[in-house]
Structure 1
Amino acid sequence: MTGSNRNRPDFTPREARRRYLDHRKTEASASSIKSWASRLKRFCDWADDQPDIETMRDLDGWKLDEWENHRRGQGVASSTLNSEMQTVKNWVEYLARIEVVDDELPEKVHVPEVPDGEESNDEMLEHGAARSLIKSYRNGPDRATANHALLELLWFTGARLGGVRALDLDDYHPGEQYVEFRHRPDTGTPLKNDSDGERAVGLPASTCVVLDEYIDRYRSDVYERGRQPFLTTARGRPGENTVRVWCYMATMPCLYQDCPHGHRRDTCEFVHVHHASKCPSSLSPHRVRTGSITWQRDQGLPAEIVAKRVNATLEVIESYYDKATERQRLERRRRPYIENLQFDPED
């Protein structure tokens, strides 16, 4: 430390976290801030239990390596550990710039590389399972419930949880058969990429029939912050965790087949709202999104079109979301152009 640092605040990890997040708010999306806050909170919780870490000046290469080993010992995925350590490195770089920690400290943060093939989790809602689930809902007693409406929206738009949750009643256009995703941070529903995430996404006619029925039969006529949410609880717009639980419940395979884990649906604790996430086969909205993107590509939609529909870059789709097999990729390349490659041997 230089002599001038004697006048700098001796931040605790939590104070340094708050300072960093406040600094980044003007240049990053709300969802990014939320992710960084969660990752750094884990570090601060760990630091609270370390008797030799009272302020950020107590950090050194050894303690940073201890944090990395702690998270690795908890069995987190390689991609998760990579993201968390990169966030810590960015945080420490900021603190070094404002002279809260030594200039050399950022270089001591190790960001592990992600092994080839482990960049993302391949778990997703498979096309066949999605088809069976939607067919079961459309032909069953739970037709047009909130769980069913959510599954239709997630699958046929490929949208993120936050995007579907943000929809208002007037964002749905049944006559033109599309939904409109809009960035409205002032009233609690930002999109991941801010205004760049705004878009209109077409829906199949059969999905619109379901959504119309949901509105007529199950949607509560509620207002929240001057708006009418599309998906509702009795009290207003559902929270993110509520939507996530609805998705877990909507993707249980026992809705259309015998339980793959040997349970009976009428006695299984996982069908309860408080335990749905513990079902080994239920899936989060992110896994439905992954499956939807793969399916849209396999149906022949060009990558550029899918990218616009789901608000992702081509690179991200190809690297993290598109889980097609090599055979499926071959079919995609072949279908539109194979006839151009044929010739008559007698010509």
Structure 2
Amino acid sequence: MAELKLPEEPGDFNPTAAGEYWINKRKIDHTDNTIHSNRKDLAPFLGWCVEHEIERVGDLTEWTIEQYEQYAHARDDWGAVTIKNKLQTLKQFLEFLGEKGAFDGYLHPAVTVPDLDRSQEVNTEKWDKTDALQQIRFMRDSPKWYGTFEHAVIEVAWFTARRVQAISGLDLADYVREPDDDDPADGPYLDFNHRGDQGTRLKNELDSEDPVEISEDVADVLDYHIARERNDKRDENGREPLFTTRQGRASIGKIRGATYIATQPCIRVACPHGENAKKCDFRKRDHASKCPSSRSPHRIRTGSIQWQLDQGIAPEDVSDRVDASVETIRRHYDVPDDRAKMENRRRKYTGVLEDSINDAEESADQTPSQEEDSNEETSEEADSGELDESNEDDGSTPPTV
């Protein structure tokens, strides 16, 4: 790509060229996914500038920002979260231009980013665990699907809830089936590593690095896949990827395509949309994402995080497993319904409360004579009207659940 020619003054920048300049600057210290999101979120504003014949960023004013916000809120195809993301990106873009001196002062404070409540921000688009567990169980029992590329990918995606670029970046050596004596792990795991200088980045770079334990069943699928399905190839850096194609490392697009295929319910049941699975175009890899029932890696990640929380795993532990902050986990994923909340409380507290009752019974069984004496004394005191009420309001309260 040719080097972008800078104008004499920053305010003379054409909005589209300024957007490209900002994006290129961010490529230095941001992931490909972040750059993709920034470009997508800023594009409507740059297009709006073209339609309104705004040829210089220096001509932008608080009023033009107000007009764009009105346009954004009036779009029927943008939900609250979409509007927030796009305006947040615009605010960052304008702040960058302000720092370069494109305006007389700063313009980014004029952008009003919506303050959404939790119900609006919660990510409810997910691969539902009921469908997910049935699908995975089916693939484990199917001679046709067991150990295939799609099956192995979906097992790792569901069990670890890691992002698609993290799964694509796994090497064969990152899969540890039998930890050695010096390894504190006592079971199989996948070791996620940031290797940005070799083309496989993690979203939060070194902070994303973590070994994530997997079950023996998931390990069995990986063993089968490696032995019978995996192409013995190296990537352009000489590394041996865990997931490969005939050319080398399986790309992010290849991994994503596998999830679309693996989540289609028609591989195990009749098509819920009334189509003939053998003739449906959505069964073809290039069109699988168009199936209404197929799920993207992000929806798999969302469903898996909710599933892990529903199993009673603490948000702090889920955070380490899936590479997401505890705040993000609580705000966007930890939203079980009332029955799920009850079940989580049952797992956490019912045993403790029951143990308390059992302990009390054991204590009572050990001192029957004292109990009888106490009952006799209480009865006599009650008859004489002298029952001691000193413990009625001692500040103690019963346990609450």
**What TM-score do you get using the length of structure 1 for normalisation?**
0.90
Deviations 1:158-191 (A, max 9, x none): 1111111111111111224110100011111110
> 8 Å contact 2:11–2:101 — kept in the other structure?
no
Q: 1:192 maps to what in 2? A: 203
State the one-letter code of the partner of 2:153. Answer: L
Q: 1:243 to 1:183 in 2, by over 3 A?
A: same
Deviations 1:39-59 (A, max 9, x none): 2244334434x2511121232
SS at match of 2:146: coil
Q: 2:280 maps to what in 1? A: 268
Q: 1:60 maps to what in 2? A: 61
SS at match of 1:117: helix
Q: 1:104-183 counterparts in 2 under 5 A?
A: 104-140=106-142, 141-176=144-179, 177-183=188-194
CA distance in 1, matches of 2:69, 2:148: 44
- 2:319 matched to 1:316? no
Query: Which region of structure 1 is more displaced relative to structure 2, 334-343 or 119-128?
Result: 334-343
- Percent identity between the two aligned chains: 37
SS at match of 1:200: strand
- 2:229 matched to 1:218? yes
How many angstroms does 1:109 deviate by? 1.9
Q: 1:17 to 1:8 in 2, by over 3 A?
A: closer
CA distance in 1, matches of 2:10, 2:136: 59
Deviations 1:185-219 (A, max 9, x none): 11111101110000001111011111111111211
Query: Which region of structure 1 is more displaced relative to structure 2, 123-132 or 326-335?
Result: 326-335
SS at match of 1:216: helix
SS at match of 2:211: strand
Deviations 1:271-316 (A, max 9, x none): 1112111111111111111111111122222221111111111111
CA distance in 1, matches of 2:38, 2:61: 21
**What TM-score do you get using the length of structure 2 for normalisation?**
0.79
How many angstroms does 1:326 deviate by? 2.4
- 2:286 matched to 1:285? no
Q: 1:36 maps to what in 2? A: 38
CA distance in 1, matches of 2:77, 2:70: 10
Query: Which region of structure 1 is more displaced relative to structure 2, 167-176 or 28-37?
Result: 28-37
Query: Which region of structure 1 is more displaced relative to structure 2, 20-29 or 324-333?
Result: 20-29
Q: Which ranges in structure 2 are unaligned for 5 or more consecutive residues?
A: 1-6, 180-187, 365-401
Q: 2:13 maps to what in 1? A: 11
CA distance in 2, matches of 1:104, 1:159: 38
- 2:328 matched to 1:327? no
SS at match of 1:201: strand
CA distance in 1, matches of 2:170, 2:214: 14
State the one-letter code of the partner of 1:55. Answer: R
Cα RMSD between the aligned structures? Answer: 2.3
How many angstroms does 1:242 deviate by? 2.4
State the one-letter code of the partner of 1:257. Answer: V
CA distance in 2, matches of 1:236, 1:91: 37
Q: 2:78 maps to what in 1? A: 76
State the one-letter code of the partner of 2:337. Answer: T
> 8 Å contact 1:52–1:58 — kept in the other structure?
no
State the one-letter code of the partner of 1:165. Answer: S
Q: 1:92 maps to what in 2? A: 94
CA distance in 2, matches of 1:20, 1:117: 33
Q: 1:218 to 1:91 in 2, by over 3 A?
A: same
SS at match of 2:319: helix
CA distance in 2, matches of 1:270, 1:70: 35
CA distance in 1, matches of 2:221, 2:8: 65
Q: 1:108 to 1:293 in 2, by over 3 A?
A: same
Q: 2:349 maps to what in 1? A: 337
SS at match of 2:191: strand
Structure with max Cα Rg:
2
Q: 2:319 maps to what in 1? A: 307
> 8 Å contact 1:298–1:324 — kept in the other structure?
yes
State the one-letter code of the partner of 1:154. Answer: A
Compare relative contact order (CA 8 Å, sep 6+) and give the higher one, 1 or 2.
Answer: 1
Deviations 1:227-261 (A, max 9, x none): 11111121122322222121111101112222221
CA distance in 2, matches of 1:330, 1:255: 34
CA distance in 2, matches of 1:323, 1:229: 36
Q: Which ranges in structure 1 are unaligned for 5 or more consecutive residues?
A: none
Q: 2:369 maps to what in 1? A: none
